[in-house]
Structure 1
Amino acid sequence: MTDPTIGTLRVNGATLHYEVRGQGPLLLLIPGGAGGAASFDGIADDMAAEYTVATYDPRGMSRSTLDDPEAEQSVAEHADDAFRILERLSPDEPARVFGSSSGAIAALHLLTAHPERVQRLIAHEPPVVEVLPDASEHRGLIARVQATFHTEGLMPAMAVFAAGLKKAGDTTEPKAETKLPPQAAARVERTMANLPYFVGRIVPSFMSYAPAIHQLEALSDRLVLACGQDSRGELPYRPAAFLAEHLGTELRHFPGGHTGLTTHPAEFGERLRRVFRA
């Protein structure tokens, strides 16, 4: 694995940690969930053979520190952070962007707020549940997760959250986790440390975000909506499928499920390259 060039960037209310590898046109990778730049360790080196690959820890995660640790979080501000990174690393050319999960939500806002900076966006399972016909049900889930987090703590809240993401009618216990690659296993400790912030600040803010669908309609030629091939029926799959149908674009399927980037890195990276070339 190649050591990346490390940088820091002052933004409104935070200092971002970012990493750059390779050379060529810029590819910005926006992590989701409780992950940071390290989420992309499994694919960044391979992608760097073709692109200047940049990724970062979102504000409040891992090495990207908040000036006020109690500050409320917003999709617009996280998207502006991505914009600032693009301005620093590719000031003269629009970039390719990939975002996963909550990172894909920030990426959708980036596309609508700064379309001139994005050549193509692949948004993998953005849980923008507000676009769904049963959005009110999912608002109830978010409220239950927050109530459980504040009264019972992190792990009970995560259990409520995980149950709400499962396929409708699926009452089975979670399957045994796919054995993670060594790099991914080593990241678990940092990811666990980010979970309280993710559950308490990111989940309620990001999952109540409603994208500007009329703007996405106008930009649909540079937006690719993607899902895990094993995610069909799960909650994070549904908004991407709904938006692809609404926009009249092809829904692309990637290896694995919601976390296919981690469980199937080689296949995921190859699929990512193919979709960006298409």
Structure 2
Amino acid sequence: MNNLLTVPEAELYYEVRGSGPLVVLVGAPMDADSFAPLADLLADSYTVLTTDPRGVKRSKLTDGGTSTPEQRADDLARLIQYVDRGPAVAFGSSGGAVSVLALAQNHPETVRAVIAHEPPLDHLVADGDELLAKSEKLMADYLSGDVVGAWEQFFALANIQLPPGMAQMMFGGERDPQQVADERFWFAHEMRESISWRPDLARLSAVRVLVGIGSDSTGQLCDRTSTALADLLGIKPTHFPGGHTGFADDPKAFEPELRRQLVEVVLDPGA
């Protein structure tokens, strides 16, 4: 089922698959298509909700241009209430992990638990101010037209090693206009708001929170920020197959561990 839901300042595109307990799969800036293969695998046991975050692809803004974690959390809460199959287990990755943490803080009644996979929360690490300053530079460079240079800075900051010339191959030359528009929206209106967000640990303690890290992400920035969040929450991180985008790179490898976590969260009477 593919539909649109009107919310304040946006029209949200969403998809619903399967039946059973509700699972939300969300990214930022990644859209619903990025989660479709994983959603298909889970739909035999769960109702799976995916969505394009506001301002991305089919989720058009109707007023204003910002995408804060609080706005995205409000959007998710409205979607969960609208499909009327909650409370949900919400899995979010990268900026989507920040979204589901904000959802847990602001709308705890809508979730059984949240799984925050590699949230890029720069304030949680000792060099956070330096990281945020470097991010400001690369965002400005991107918006001034240095697309490839900005992406090279981004991957260096994330400590993700690219082969020489790969950024030019990925982001130079002719590209899909929708991909470029979504990317520009992220650099202009979504990235800063996500990486500078500060979780409220006291409010998060009222909801079951799992912190996920990719097994191939060791030493990367999101490994550091995720480990810091888990330490602050007093929990051990859960390791998932693959790297930062393991759920999209190899959903068949990613799905068994996610399903194992969902079974524990959904079926455990103490959850």
Is the pair's TM-score, using the shorter chain for normalization, greater than 0.5? yes
- Cross-structure match for 1:38: 33
Q: Deviations over 1:80-126 (max 9, x none)?
A: 000100110126x4111100100110110000111111101111001
Q: 1:235 aligns with which of 217, 221, 230?
A: 221
- Cross-structure match for 1:75: 69
Query: CA distance change for structure 1 residues 154 and 23 in 2, over 3 Å: closer, same or farther?
Result: same
* AA at the equivalent of 1:74: T
Residues in 1 aligned to 2:42 and 2:253: alpha-carbon distance in whole angstroms: 12
How far is 1:194 from its partner?
1.4
**Contact 2:155 2:162 survives alignment (8 Å):** no
* AA at the equivalent of 1:203: M
Question: Percent identical across equivalent pairs?
Answer: 36
Q: 1:107 aligns with which of 100, 106, 117?
A: 100
Pairing 1:23-102 to 2, within 5 Å after superposition: 23-33=19-29, 35-68=30-63, 71-90=65-84, 93-102=86-95
RMSD between superposed Cα atoms in Å: 1.9
How far is 1:192 from its partner?
4.2
- Cross-structure match for 1:17: 13
* AA at the equivalent of 2:42: M
Residues in 2 aligned to 1:62 and 1:147: alpha-carbon distance in whole angstroms: 22
Query: CA distance change for structure 1 residues 193 and 72 in 2, over 3 Å: closer, same or farther?
Result: closer
How far is 1:174 from its partner?
3.6
- Give unpaired runs (5+ residues) of structure 1: 178-187
How far is 1:173 from its partner?
4.2
Query: CA distance change for structure 1 residues 176 and 94 in 2, over 3 Å: closer, same or farther?
Result: farther
* AA at the equivalent of 2:21: P
* AA at the equivalent of 1:137: E
Residues in 2 aligned to 1:174 and 1:217: alpha-carbon distance in whole angstroms: 41
Residues in 2 aligned to 1:44 and 1:228: alpha-carbon distance in whole angstroms: 19
Q: 1:267 aligns with which of 253, 257, 267?
A: 253
Query: CA distance change for structure 1 residues 84 and 175 in 2, over 3 Å: closer, same or farther?
Result: farther
- Give unpaired runs (5+ residues) of structure 2: 167-175, 265-271
Deviates more, 1:6-15 or 1:70-79: 70-79
Moved over 4 A (4+): none
Q: Does 1:205 align with 2:193?
A: yes
* AA at the equivalent of 1:79: A
**Contact 1:154 1:196 survives alignment (8 Å):** no
How far is 1:47 from its partner?
0.4
How far is 1:155 from its partner?
2.6
- Cross-structure match for 2:157: 164
- Cross-structure match for 2:268: none
3-state DSSP class of the match of 1:121? Answer: strand
Residues in 2 aligned to 1:24 and 1:176: alpha-carbon distance in whole angstroms: 46
